[in-house]
Amino acid sequence: MSYEQLAKDIIANVGGKENVNSVVHCITRLRFKLKDEGKANTEVLKKMDGVVTVRTSGGQYQVVIGNHVPDVYKAVVEEGGFQAQQSADLDQDGKKGSVFDRFIDMISGIFTPILSVLAASGMIKGFNALFIAVGWLEEASGTYQVLNATGDALFHFLPILLGYTAMKKFGGTPFLGMVIAMALVYPNLEGIPQAGEPLYTLFTGTMFESPVYLEFLGIPVILMTYSTSVIPIIVSTFFATKVEHFFKKVVPSVVKMFLVPMFTFLIIVPLTFIIIGPIATWASQLLGEVTVWAYNLSPVIAGLFLGGFWLVFVMFGLHWGLIPIAMNNITVYGADSVLALVFAHSFALAGAILAVWIKSNNAKTKSLSAPAFISAIFGVTEPGMYGIALPLKRPFIFTLITSAIGGAVLGFVGTTGYVMGGLGVFQIPSFIPPEGFDITVVGALISAAGGFVLAFFLTYFFGNINKIEGTDPATNQAEEKQLESNKAPIQNEVVTSPLIGQVKSLESIEDTAFASGAIGKGVAIEPLENKVFSPVAGTVTTLFPTNHAIGITSDQGAEILIHVGMDTVKLDGKYYKAHIVQGDRVDQGQLLLEFDGDRIKEEGYPLTTPVVITNHEPYQVSITNQQEVKAQDVLMELKGK
C-alpha cells in the first residue's frame, strides 16, 4: 500500500480532516488531537495494513505506525492540508540548523530523486565531447546531434524536473511545479529576444540596463534564459506551495480540483517573470561588473574570487552575467581572461569525488561517484556537485577552497582563453596562444593538477565522509548494512543494558503499543541513573529532535529502539541532552544521552524506558532474568531462527 493511500485511509478513519485539530509525530506514531474522538473508527484503524495499533493518552489519539512514521506523516499532512508541526529543518538538537545546513538539506532533498539520471546525462555529454575531440564524430553529424540531445536534454529542461522535486519537497502538488517550470522554458518566450527589437530599455546607461521585449498587464517583463537554471524554479515553487495551500483552504471543495491550480499558475508564473527574472538578471550583471573591476585591480584577487565561488554562482544562475563579457572580449580583443580563471573548478571537484569514491563505505554513494567523477573531468559538474559534494558538505567546501587557489594561480600566470572552447580537459587547447605553447598554458595545467590533488587529499583525510553520510538524503549507511543483512545469514549477538536500573517486562508498562510487542520485542528498564549508553556497536540511525528516543542499527543488523520515558515527546526536548548526532558510529558502552530524571518525573511523566528490537522477526530474543542491571550487563541475547 502506498503512503498516500494509507494517509487517506487514516484521515478518513479518524473522523475526516475536519475532525483534526492538529497532528504531529514522534518516533513511532502519529499523534492526533481530535475534536471528537468518538468519530474515530479505532477498530478499523487497528486492522489496517500499515498501522500497528491505536492508543489514546493525554488528550492525544495515537496511531502507531512504526519506523516509517515520518513518511506516513508527510503523506497525512499533504493529503489533509494540515500544518506540519515537525519542521524538516530541525537539527538533532530540535533547533533550526544553520542557514547553510538548511540550504544544503533543501538542495539535497530536491536533487536526490534525479541523481541517477543526472549522472547518466553528464556521462553522455562528456563522452560526446570526447568523441568530437578525438575526431570520431563531427558536430554536423546525425550521431553527434542525437547523442547531444540525449545528454543535454536533462540539463536544458532541468527546471521541469526540479519543479516536480522542489514542489514535493516543499509540500505542494508536484505537477504544479512542473507546469510552472514549463512556462519558464517555453520556447516562444525564450526566442523573443532573438526575433525582434525591444519595446524599450530600462535603466539605460547603467549596469542594470535591460531591454524589454514584452509587458504583462502593462508591467515590463525582463526576459532571461531559464533553461539549465536552478534557483528561479526553486524560489517559484516555494512560493507556489504557499499559494496552493492558501487556495486549498478558501476554495470550495466542489471546484477545488481545477481552481486551485489555476489560481496558483496565474499568480506564480507572472510573478516569476516579473520579479525573479529581473533579480537574477541584475545579479548576473552586477557579478560581471564586479569581476571585471576585480580583474583590473588584481588578476590574482579576481582568480580567488571567481574560482572560489564559481560553483555557487552556477547554482544561482549568476554565471550568465560573465559569459557575455567573455564572448565580447573574444570578439573584440581576440582573447578573454575572465572565464579562464575558473578552469580549475571541475578538476578540484573531480579530486574531491575521487576521494569519496575510494573512501566511502556507502554502496550507493560509490555507484554515484563513478559517473560523477567522469563527468567532472569532462567539465560537467552538476552530477558531482548536487549528488556528492553538496550533500556531504565538506567535499564541497574543499572544492571551493582549492578552486580559489587554482584561480589565483591562473590569474598570476595570466592564463587566457582564445576561443569559447569545451569544458574540463577539452578547454585546455583554447588556452594555447597563436604564437604557441607558453607559461600561461603551463599555469593552466598546474592549476588543474594541483586543484585535483589538493581537493583529493583534503577530502580523503578531512572530509568526514562516512560520518556525515548518515544524514545524506541520497542514502544511508545503516540502510545499506540492513540490505546486506537481509541477504546474509542472521548473526547471533548480545545486546547490553543501556541503563542502570530495574528490569520490567514490556507487558507490565502502561503504553499498550510497547506492551503488546507491536513495536518490537524487548524489555523495559526503570532507570536509577540519568545516563544512556549504547547497547551495541553500530550506527545511530534515528535521533528524534526532542532527544527522548534513539534508534541504533548494530553492525550485525539488529535494530534497537531506546525510548526514554513514556509520552516524553511532549516535553519538546526539555531535560534531555544528546552526546551524539544521527548518523554517528558508536561503540558499545559509548555515552549517548543524559537526562534529568527528577525534573521529568516532576512534570508528571514516567521514566520507564522500553528497549526493543524492532526487526525481531528473524531472531529468537532471550531476556535477562536479572531484576536489576548495570550499564553493559547482558540485557538480551539474539539468535537467528
Are the C-beta atoms of 503 and 523 separated by less than 8 Å?
yes
Grid cell locating 287: 557579478
Grid cell locating 166: 522542489
Grid cell locating 99: 542557514
Distances (CA, A) of 301 to 409, 450, 541: 10, 18, 44
Could you tell me how many residues make up the chain?
641
Which one of the listed residues 25, 345, 548, 563 is annotated catalytic? 563
What is the C-alpha separation between 504 and 514, in angstroms, rounded?
12
Which one of the listed residues 26, 245, 319, 345 is annotated catalytic? 26
Residue 627 CB neighbours (<10 A): 8
Active site residue 26: yes
- Give the contacts of 548 (CB within 8 A, at least 6 positions apart): 563, 564, 565, 568, 569, 571, 573, 576, 595
CA 512-514-517 angle, 5° bins: 100
Active site residue 563: yes
Residue 396 one-letter amino acid: F
Give me the sign of the Cα torsion angle 316, 448, 384, 374. positive
Residue 128 one-letter amino acid: N
What is the C-alpha separation between 440 and 444, in angstroms, rounded?
6
Are the C-beta atoms of 615 and 558 separated by less than 8 Å?
yes
Per-residue DSSP letter, 90: B
Grid cell locating 594: 543524559
List the strands of the sheet with 531-533, edge to edge: 531-533, 591-595, 576-578
Are the C-beta atoms of 290 and 384 separated by less than 8 Å?
no
3-state DSSP call for residue 341? Answer: helix
In DSSP notation, 152-205 reads HHHHHTHHHHHHHHHHHHTTS-HHHHHHHHHHHT-HHHHTHHHHS--SEEESTT
> 470 φ, ψ to 5°?
-60, -25
In terms of C-beta distances under 8 Å and separation of at least 24 residues, what long-range contacts does 285-293 make, across chains too? Answer: 285/207, 285/208, 285/321, 286/207, 286/208, 286/321, 287/313, 287/318, 287/319, 287/321, 287/322, 288/321, 288/322, 288/324, 288/325, 289/207, 291/322, 291/325, 291/338, 292/325, 292/338
Active site (catalytic) residues: 26, 563
